[in-house]
Structures are given as C-alpha cells and as structure tokens.
Amino acid sequence: YSGKEIESIFAQQLKSLKVADIKSVPIVVEEQTTVYDAIVTMFLENVGTIYVTSNGYFTGVVSRKDFLKSAIGGIDVNKIPVAVIMTRMPNIITVTSEESILDAATKIIEHEIDSVPVIEEVNEDDMKLYKVIGKISKTNIVRVFVDLCKNI
C-alpha cells in the first residue's frame, strides 16, 4: 500500500466504524455511594472514569481529578456521596451508538476528556432520562488504530 492508500483506509474506517462496534462496558455507581467506595471501585476496576446513576438513570461522571480535588479539599471521603463531587448532566459530553468513531474521538479531543459515555434516551412520564450503555475511552480509540495496522 502507498501512504495515500493507507491514509484513506484509516479515514474510511474511522468514519464507517460506529461507537456500538468498539464501546466497552462502563463502570457505574449510584449517587449515594461514598467518595471512599467510589475510589476503591476505580482501583479495583482499573478505570480512570466512573459513571454515576440515580435509580439506574445516568446523572454524572467522576474522574481521577475529581477525586484528587476532593482529597486536597479535605472532605470526609467516608461521608460525602460521590454525587457531591461529580460533573453533572447536562454538562456531560456524550455519544450515541450510531455515531462514528471519528465523532467520538473528536469530542474527546475538543473537550480534553479521557472518555465519553454512550447513552440512550428513555422517556419516562414525559421526562427525558438517559441510560448509560457503554463507554468510549482513549484506549478504545487507540485499539482501533492497532487493529487497523494489523490488517494492513
């Protein structure tokens, strides 16, 4: 393959592959989980970002930096629920299953975040609620590049 051909294989794949094709399983805790327990979950599950739900519906994101901030702020990690320190909807950058991998990667770069939750809208009593059904992280995107190179 020539350089141009390889470039075009990459571009085509990034545009045609969908979020649904590469998403991973999200690690989720409920809002009342203590900051302490959420930190333990982050270590045990070996992730950098945890998604937060209320009665199963997606409400927020908590990352390493949020935990560091709360620790140096001196909060009681055994008492304070994760909901107090998380970034909350609607201020969350999200993707849907049908979006392309290029869309997801663009959002990650433009907003300087490590991952985007894959969400699905559900209508409950005319309220707009969301289920979190996956996660696209920088690792998922890098894996696509590695897999594409294996196939060239």
- Between 14 and 104, whose beta carbon lies closer to ligand ADP? 104
For 108, the 3-state DSSP assignment is helix
User: Which residue from 20, 28, 113, 144 is in contact with ligand ADP, where contact means CB under 6 A?
Assistant: 113
Residues 41-80 that bind ligand ADP (CB under 6 A): 48-49, 61-66
- In angstroms, the CA 102 to CA 108 distance is 10
- Between 3 and 90, whose beta carbon lies closer to ligand ADP? 90
Answer yes or no whether residue 31 interacts with ligand ADP by CB under 6 A. Answer: no
- Between 18 and 138, whose beta carbon lies closer to ligand ADP? 138
- In angstroms, the CA 51 to CA 65 distance is 14
Contact 100, 17 (CB under 8 A): yes
